[in-house]
Amino acid sequence: MELPADLDELPPQVDAAVYRLAQEALTNALRHARNASRVLIRVVAGAGRLRLRVTDDGQIDPARSVNHGFGLLGMTERVQLLGGTLRAGPAPEGGWTVDAELPTKVRR
């Protein structure tokens, strides 16, 4: 896990969203990433944005649909409510990636 040291000033909504997004992405990796040997959670902050990236090196089951399930839909809604974006899907090098970007300041 990679996490910047200076995240003390995050609004509670963003802090909670990052925690829940990482939790859901990790749960999805544990449930769906076949033969995964690694899951990396990385948080980077800068220029008024916070980026959460969760990647695994598991194999994608070709028989299983790549359609987004309810967990990913909930993650997308959570991010959009805060003015951010979320992308999730197979990574070009294999495995799965969840990439969320959130503003570090939110409207009250």
pLDDT exceeds cutoff 80 at 60: no
**Mean pLDDT, range 82-90, rounded to an integer:** 95
Strand blocks (E) in 34-79: 39-46, 49-56
**Domain 12-103 classification at class level:** alpha beta
- Per residue in 5-15, pLDDT (tens digit) is 667 788 999 99
Query: What's the predicted TM-score (pTM) here?
Result: 0.86
| Residue 22 pLDDT | 96
Helices marked H in 1-108? 12-32, 70-81
pLDDT exceeds cutoff 60 at 85: yes
CB 19 within 8 A of CB 29: no
| Residue 64 pLDDT | 61
| Residue 62 pLDDT | 66
Task: Tell me if residue 15 falls in helix, strand or coil.
Answer: helix
pLDDT exceeds cutoff 80 at 66: no
Nearest partner of 39 among 26, 21, 22, 24, judged by Cα: 26
Distance, in Å, from the CA atom of 6 to the CA atom of 55, rounded to the nearest integer, reads: 23
Listed by start position, the domains of the chain span: 12-103
pLDDT exceeds cutoff 90 at 97: yes
